[in-house]
Chain A
Amino acid sequence: MTRTSTSQRSTSTIRVPEKIPVSLTVNGVEAQLRVAPWTSLLDTLRDHLGLTGTKKGCDHGQCGACTVLVDGRRVNSCLTLAVMKDGAKVTTIEGLATDGTLHALQQAFIDHDAFQCGYCTPGQICSAAGLIAEGKAKSADEIRELMSGNICRCGAYPNIVRAIQQAMGQS
């Protein structure tokens, strides 16, 4: 992106930042991208890589729909700049199943009917994968507390907790 003749009307030219090269390994596949510095990881996944499983809810870190795993840790991709994650390994909902077999959490969400509209579900499942990897939640109370960054407007919370308990029992 560069300003051309239109900027000549002004004596001071606005410097539009160059796009910056970023290397990401997303679901095991390395991607070389060029993004503007303000591009969130969420927009990078959805708009640059076509991975629309990760959802944009609030875009302010309040709903958790955009949760993905970066280097194994769950984060809000809407509050993450892609340029800051150069070299990182990212796992999205599209990367959880292996060889056509659903991840234990995906199967558990189906088994327990842990969603209605499904919009928050990719974030819920990625967040739950992070939760299980962290290993801090044992009781249902602890699961609820450590999943509080993922909002479900349909109110499927009781079934989400049961689904996570089932997957934890298998891990």
Chain B
Amino acid sequence: MIGFQYARASDVADAVRQIAADPAAKFIAGGTNLIDLMKEDVERPSRLIDISRLPLRSVEETASGGLRIGALVPNSDLAYHPLIAQRYPMLASAILAGASAQLRNMASTGGNLLQRTRCYYFYDIATPCNKRQPGSGCSAIGGLNRMHAILGTSEACIATHPSDMCVALAALDATVHVTGPAGARAIALSDFHRLPENTPQRDTNLETNEIVTAVELAGRGFAANYTYLKIRDRLSYAFALVSVAAALELEGDTIKEARLALGGVAHKPWRDPSAEAALRGQNIGEPAFAHAADVVLRDAKGFGHNTFKIDLARRAIVRALTQAAAGTPQSQSSKKIA
């Protein structure tokens, strides 16, 4: 870790002022990802601006029937919040599928959005990586890429976004509230993270002088028919190879509304509106679910070690939609897959 200055922000406006004054500064909240990256010299901020004491820790009901979650609400508090557990159990399940209890106690809602890829080459400063050092090349293409993306990749980068929480947020139509020097604006969660294209160094559409202040959930929570199914190399405390957030609204056996988002397969939570459209109006069952999987994976491309993810994703989508339709969501403690 290289040396850095430390300062606390007194309020959101002060935080924005401080970050605007020093482009090499970083905000720190939970620190679970940033401090790790600093220990590896991947992140080398000149200054850490401590935002952890800002009053952004409430979960409030909105006029439109949704919830506004302060950016500093810890992941564990959010997962166990009564309103989340009751109305948005898919979000609670996704959060509890990620990291460890200690890390969830530390990590913030806003920080979860902004965590960086766990690509081995991004972490290893001795290797080329376009995300870490633009123009240096991608070591994962043609290298070890078991954990890497199969959708939305580019010649510059095949990294995945590691979050579980964001996959559920994408499926739930969440909105990210941010504040910068020009004031506040809202970004749809699905537009918040970027595809790598030729600028993989930019993970999100957040500007460097903006701060995340809240995440807002829309009214629909899909509490009756949902699941978050996470497939990984060990049963707990591992990043997803493939994960699926699936949510349905049913009338009898007919699908009235469908949400489907994947984790572990792309540079962002992968939500495909055409797959959801293909499910609407269909009867629940394997034919419709398998067709939706084919739609999601129509452009999937493997890179060798990760090619198995295409079949794995297909089966996980069918299984997740089956769990959602049956109202038997995946337990995050008992690992038997229903």
Contacts and interface: CB of A to CB of B under 8 A. Distances in A.
Q: A and B from one assembly? A: yes
Interface of A: 14-17, 20, 36-38, 40, 59-61, 64, 67, 73-76, 79-81, 83-84, 127, 130-131, 134, 136, 139, 141-142, 144-150
Interface string B236-269: 1100000000000000000000000000000000
B106 A76 contact: yes
Interface of B: 1, 3-6, 28, 31-32, 35-36, 38-39, 48, 50, 52, 76, 80, 99-103, 105-106, 235-237, 332-335
A146 B101 contact: yes
B101 A81 contact: no
A76 B236 contact: no
Shortest 8 CB-CB contacts between residues of A and residues of B: A149-B100, A37-B6, A148-B236, A145-B333, A148-B237, A142-B333, A141-B333, A73-B105
B237 A149 contact: yes
Contacts of A67: 102
23 contacts: A15-B5, A17-B4, A17-B6, A38-B1, A38-B38, A40-B35, A59-B39, A60-B36, A60-B39, A61-B102, A64-B100, A74-B105, A80-B106, A81-B28, A84-B28, A127-B101, A127-B102, A130-B101, A141-B335, A144-B236, A146-B101, A148-B235, A149-B101
A151 to B, nearest CB: 9
Nearest to A37: B6
B22 to A, nearest CB: 12
Contact of B103 (A15, A17, A76, A141): A76
A24 B4 CA distance: 22
B3 A16 contact: yes
Contacts of B333: 139, 141-142, 144-146
B3 A80 contact: no
Nearest to B5: A17
Given A17-B3, A67-B102, A146-B101, 14 more contacts: A37-B6, A61-B103, A64-B102, A74-B102, A74-B105, A76-B32, A76-B106, A80-B31, A127-B102, A130-B105, A142-B333, A144-B236, A148-B101, A149-B101
Contacts of A60: 36, 39
Contacts of B4: 17, 37-38
B106 A141 contact: no
A123 to B, nearest CB: 9
B282 to A, nearest CB: 34
Q: Among the interface residues B100, B106, B236, which one has the most CB atoms of the partner chain A within 10 A?
A: B100
Contacts of A74: 101-102, 105
Contact of B36 (A61, A73, A136, A148): A61
B334 A141 contact: yes
A91 B105 CA distance: 15
A84 B50 contact: yes
Contacts of B31: 79-81, 84
A40 B102 CA distance: 16
Contact of A84 (B5, B52, B101): B52
A134 B101 contact: yes
A48 B101 CA distance: 27
Nearest to A140: B333
A22 to B, nearest CB: 11
A145 B236 contact: yes
Contact of B32 (A37, A61, A73): A61
Contacts of B100: 64, 148-150
Contacts of B6: 17, 20, 37, 81, 83
Q: Among the interface residues A20, A134, A142, A145, which one has the most CB atoms of the partner chain B within 10 A?
A: A145
Q: Among the interface residues A59, A67, A84, A141, which one has the most CB atoms of the partner chain B within 10 A?
A: A84
A83 B49 CA distance: 12
A75 B1 CA distance: 21
A149 B103 contact: yes
B52 A37 contact: no
B109 to A, nearest CB: 16
Contacts of A20: 6
A79 B5 contact: no
